[in-house]
Amino acid sequence: MGVTIIGAGVAGCTTGYLLSQNGYDVTIVEKDAVGGLLREIEFDTGYHCDSAPHLLFYDEEEEAVVGELFSEFTDLERHDFYAKTYPTGTLEEPHDYPVSRANIDRWDDGDRIREELENAEGKTDADYFDQYMLKQVGPTLYERYNENYTEKHWGVEPSRITGDWFDFKISFPDDEDSFFDGGAFYPDEKYTSVLKEMIEDCDVVFDGVSGLETDGDRILALETESGQRLEDDLFVSTIDPSFLVDDIDVSLNYRSMVILGAHVEASERLFPSHVNWGYFPNDYEFTRITDYDFTPQSIPEGEYILTVEFPCFVGDDLWSRDAEWFDDYLLSFLDEQGVDATVLDSEARRAPRAYPLPVEEEIQKFELINGQVSEYENMHNLGRVSTYEYIWIKDIVQQAYETVEEITAAVAQ
Ligand SMILES: Cc1cc2nc3c(=O)[nH]c(=O)nc-3n(C[C@H](O)[C@H](O)[C@H](O)COP(=O)(O)OP(=O)(O)OC[C@H]3O[C@@H](n4cnc5c(N)ncnc54)[C@H](O)[C@@H]3O)c2cc1C
């Protein structure tokens, strides 16, 4: 039995691996390169980094499956990750992230903030991000740590942002706390090497899928950008579903991101020594900077591997800027902070579909499109882009196991 999978990100590669282990003939069609969002940025200097940090965070007891799968290909090292946020825009004033009650002591108007906090309702199941946060922490903390950051990250007003992830993303500890409670792991091998090894037994076709050839409820073949026709028995999609429908004339909006990966020489480390990344809830064009000294490569003293994340929409000015602009932006930020730096090598990586937009209009559009795609009896879909859900590697691996179970059960009937 043959299965063709669209997309060679973690969703497509995991599913390809599991299906080929179960005896299926698997073809993967990939428009760009194996790895998707997990593909590393490689520097000419011989070092590398993720395109924004990719950590495997999962609870070892409850969500063991992702750890078990990755451990077949690489050792995984457990880390306690710490982050800071910089609400005043200066690296000399790091505040705890997750935002802690201890942060309040850093402000001159701490008494007022404490009063607001006392009057706040606490955790609720408010539908929109601004209400959720305001009810939990009051107006001042919300405005200083969350409001601008959220608008910058998503490109929409926080009063329109909805979802079931607030609770998971926002905790409010008393003091500095590590970033993930359950556990955060990082592979010894590069993600791309792991994914390539997973799909060793699959055929990979490098082409973009542009549409479907169908007969009623069945898909007969995929049509590709180069004019190929790829026939098969079953299909799995991990891409934007609007590519797969003809009758509905809507496209889905995703939040995009330009990720600057930079190998720099600098007069000092940007963050306190135990901290790996910083959030910037102010007017800088980026949201987060990460220092990759947790990766298994030995970076010379005085040199740093960084990523700087610039959220935007495809077509924005920021999206179209050239690599030099991003280098200059980073260097002028560092200069403002009193850090003397030179870029040894860099790449500005573009991720057009980094995040599904958590706003009602887009979710409704997705449901309309997905309704049509799900009518095909020999098509399955999974992954962050295809299900339009704000999910993580651990969830995608779980979805891959479930998809393979569904396929196997249906074929057995
Ligand atoms: C900044 C950032 C940080 C993140 N950090 C973490 C983290 O720390 N931990 C975590 O668990 N998750 C993290 N994530 C989420 C994680 O990266 C994604 O959930 C995951 O990589 C998505 O995998 P996927 O296979 O669903 O999609 P993708 O990786 O996007 O793969 C889809 C593939 O399909 C291909 N494709 C697209 N269109 C076509 C076409 N028409 N024809 C053929 N192929 C096509 C693409 O080229 C791509 O290779 C982060 C995401 C971002 C943006």
Q: What is the mean pLDDT of residues 284-306?
A: 97
Indicate whether residue 308 lines ligand 1 (CB < 6 A): no
Domains in the chain: boundaries: 2-37+190-248+358-412, 41-98+177-189+254-356, 100-169
Question: Which residue would you say has higher pLDDT here, 48 or 126?
Answer: 48
Asked if residue 194 has pLDDT above 70, the reply is: yes
Q: What is the mean pLDDT of residues 4-24?
A: 98
Indicate whether residue 104 lines ligand 1 (CB < 6 A): no
Q: What is the mean pLDDT of residues 89-109?
A: 96
Q: What is the DSSP string of 346-401?
A: EEEEEEEEEEE--SHHHHHHHHHHHHHHTT-TTEEE-SHHHHT----HHHHHHHHH
Indicate whether residue 8 lines ligand 1 (CB < 6 A): yes
**pLDDT tens track for 343-387:** 999 999 999 999 999 999 999 999 999 999 999 999 999 999 999
Mean pLDDT of the chain: 95
Asked if residue 165 has pLDDT above 90, the reply is: no
Q: Give residue 202's identity as a one-letter amino acid code.
A: C
**pLDDT (0 to 100) of residue 82:** 95
Which residue has the CA at smallest separation from atom 4 of ligand 1?
54
Burial 255-285 (b: 16+ CB within 10 A, else e): bbbbbbbbbbebeeebbeeebbbbbbbeebb
**pLDDT tens track for 233-272:** 999 999 999 999 987 788 999 999 999 999 999 999 999 9
Indicate whether residue 208 lines ligand 1 (CB < 6 A): yes
Express as a percent the part of the chain with pLDDT over 90: 90
Ligand 1 atom with least separation from CA of 353: 30
* Residue to mutate, 17, 54, 195, 252, ligand 1, most ligand atoms under 8 Å from C-beta: 54
Q: Give residue 104's identity as a one-letter amino acid code.
A: I
**pLDDT (0 to 100) of residue 122:** 85
> Strand pairing of 218-224 and 277-279?
unpaired
Q: Give residue 131's identity as a one-letter amino acid code.
A: Q
**Quick one: which H or E segment has residue 115?**
helix 110-119
Which residue has the CA at smallest separation from atom 35 of ligand 1?
7
**CATH 3.90.660.20 given to domain 41-98+177-189+254-356:** yes
Indicate whether residue 198 lines ligand 1 (CB < 6 A): no
Task: Please tell me the pTM assigned to this model.
Answer: 0.96
Residue 379 pairs in a beta bridge with: 235
**pLDDT (0 to 100) of residue 75:** 97
Q: What is the mean pLDDT of residues 318-337?
A: 97
Indicate whether residue 37 lines ligand 1 (CB < 6 A): yes
**CATH 3.20.20.150 given to domain 2-37+190-248+358-412:** no
Q: What is the mean pLDDT of residues 46-62?
A: 93
Asked if residue 168 has pLDDT above 70, the reply is: no
* Residue to mutate, 239, 252, 349, ligand 1, most ligand atoms under 8 Å from C-beta: 239
**pLDDT (0 to 100) of residue 157:** 94
**pLDDT (0 to 100) of residue 97:** 94
Ligand 1 atom with least separation from CA of 391: 19
Report residue 279: phi and psi, to 5°. -105, 150
Q: How far is 395 from 72, CA to CA, in rounded Å? A: 18
